[in-house]
Amino acid sequence: MIELSLLDLAELSVGQHWYWTIAGYQFHGEVLVTTWFVLSVIRFISFTANRDLKETPDGLQNLTEYITEFVRDIAKTQIGEQEYLPWVPFLGTFFLFIFVSNWSGALLPWHVLKIPNGELAAPTNNINTTVALALLTSTAYFYGGLSKKGLGYFKRYVSPAAFLLPINVLEDFTKPLSLSFRLFGNILADELVVAVLVSLVPLVVPIPLILLGLFTSAIQALVFSTLAGAYIGESIEEHH
C-alpha cells in the first residue's frame, strides 16, 4: 500500500493538462492553481515578515531583508550604479516568483493531490509560464531602451556595423527563446529525473538528486534574473 502511494509520486504526465475554459479561452488549470499558491506563499511571507518592522531585524524580517539586498546586488551589478534602482522591483519579482515556484515543485509532493487530468507541479515546468516571463523581459528591455533613448534606441541594431542588422534583429528573438527554454528545460528535467528514480527505487536513493534539483532550481532563478538584468542594462547603457 505504501509502495503504491510512493509510486504515485513518480507519475509522469508531460503534455497532459487540466483544461479550464474561461470566456472562450483554454487555460491549463494546474498551472494557475500552483501559480496562485506560489503567489500566496510570497505574499504571506512578505506580509508577516514586514508587518512590524524593527530597528534590528530578526527572524523573517532578516530573511526578507537579505533577499532584498541580494536582488539589489544583482540589479546593481547588471544594470549599473546609476540606473539600477527602478528595476529592482521587476527583477525581484522574477527572482522570487521563479525561486519559490521551482522550490515548491521540488519540495512539495504536489502529485499526491489528484486532479482530473494532468498533474500539479511547479508552475515553471509549463512552457507557457516561462515564455510569459521571457516575453515580459523582452518588453521590459524594449521599454527601458525606448524610454531612455527614444528612437535612438534603434541605432544599436546597426552598430558596430550596418551589415550586422539581421543578427541584431535575430537576437531579439533568440533572447526570449533561450530564456524560456533554459528555465523550462531545467525544471522539467529535474522533475523527470526525480520521477524516474522514484519509480525505480522509491526510498533514499532519489534524495541526493532532489537536493541537486533544489540547487539547480535556485541557480536557474538567479540566472533568469541576472540575464533579465543584463539585457535591460545592455539596452539602457549609453554608447560613447
Interface pick for another protein out of 188, 195, 228, 232 (rule CB under 8 A)? 188
Stretch of 53-61, 100-108, 149-157, 218-226 lying at the interface with another protein (CB under 8 A): 218-226
Q: Considering the complex, state which of residue 142 and residue 181 has its C-beta at the smaller distance from another protein.
A: 181
Question: Interface with another protein includes 181 (CB under 8 A)?
Answer: yes
Interface pick for another protein out of 14, 135, 167, 211 (rule CB under 8 A)? 14
Question: Interface with another protein includes 186 (CB under 8 A)?
Answer: yes
Q: How many CB atoms lie within 10 A of CB 240?
A: 3
Q: How distant, in Å, are the alpha carbons of 35, 150, 174, 178 from that of 205?
A: 29, 56, 38, 32
Stretch of 41-49, 81-89, 94-102, 220-228 lying at the interface with another protein (CB under 8 A): 220-228
The Cα–Cα gap between 14 and 12 comes to 6
To another protein, the closest distance from the beta carbon of 238 in angstroms equals 25
Question: Interface with another protein includes 185 (CB under 8 A)?
Answer: yes
Question: Interface with another protein includes 226 (CB under 8 A)?
Answer: yes
Question: Interface with another protein includes 132 (CB under 8 A)?
Answer: no
Using CB under 8 A, list all residues that contact another protein.
14-15, 178, 181-182, 184-186, 188-189, 216, 219-220, 222-223, 226
